[in-house]
Amino acid sequence: MKRAWWPLAGFVLLLALLGAGLGLKPREVPSPLIGRPVPAFALATLEDPARTLGPGDLPRQPHLINVWASWCVACQSEHPLLVAFARDTGVPVVGLNHKDEPQAARRWLQRHGNPYRMSLLDPQGGFGIDLGVYGVPETYVVDARGVIVHKHVGMLTPEVLRDTIAPLLVHPDG
């Protein structure tokens, strides 16, 4: 008789594990770079490919690094929000153009507006690997010391900007 309960107990355990899995947020993958400086890089700019920038050229105030590409459909959806955010808040937004064609990226910004104080070219995605980019779009919040304080995977929404990103930008350590 006791042997008949084992399959039922296994089934109940399986349901409990599946239920716990449903409560997880797979988009909230913690970044090992949280609390660390932006990795070293030397990348050309979209505006002037002959000009190379490094971490010392990033804004010395809280800012965003937004990973985007002209081929990214979700980037197009979040882009008007980034344009309005940069315009309305004055918070510098640095673009990291990921695995894209520079000409296509320039046309895309001309067509949709340019929220970026500077756009860095990462055509092979090498810096993206150093930064821990899973895909586009992604957004990093960087404090005035150049330390990554938050990573958002996926498209920004008004709620994410208001409830998660903005508080990090006004905090003394953010």
Smallest CA-to-CA distance from 166 within 154, 60, 74, 174 is with: 174
Burial (CB < 10 A; 0-12, 13-18, 19+), residue 75, is buried
Q: What string of pLDDT tens digits covers the 174 residues of the chain?
A: 577 788 888 888 888 777 776 666 555 667 889 999 999 999 999 999 999 999 999 999 999 999 999 999 999 999 999 999 999 999 999 999 999 999 999 999 999 999 999 999 999 999 999 999 989 999 999 999 999 999 999 999 999 999 999 999 975 544
Amino acid letter for position 36: R
**Architecture of domain 35-169 in this structure:** 3-Layer(aba) Sandwich (3.40)
| Confidence at residue 17, expressed as pLDDT on a 0 to 100 scale | 76
CA angle 74-78-79, nearest 5°?
110
Distance between CA atoms of residues 3 and 1, nearest Å = 5
- Whether pTM > 0.85 for this model: the answer is no
d(CA 10, CA 16): 10
Residue 31 is predicted with a pLDDT of 83
Residue 60: per-residue pLDDT: 96
Exposure string of 96-114, with b = 16+ CB inside 10 Å and e = fewer, is: bbbbbebeebbebbeeeeb
Domain layout of the chain by residue ranges: 35-169
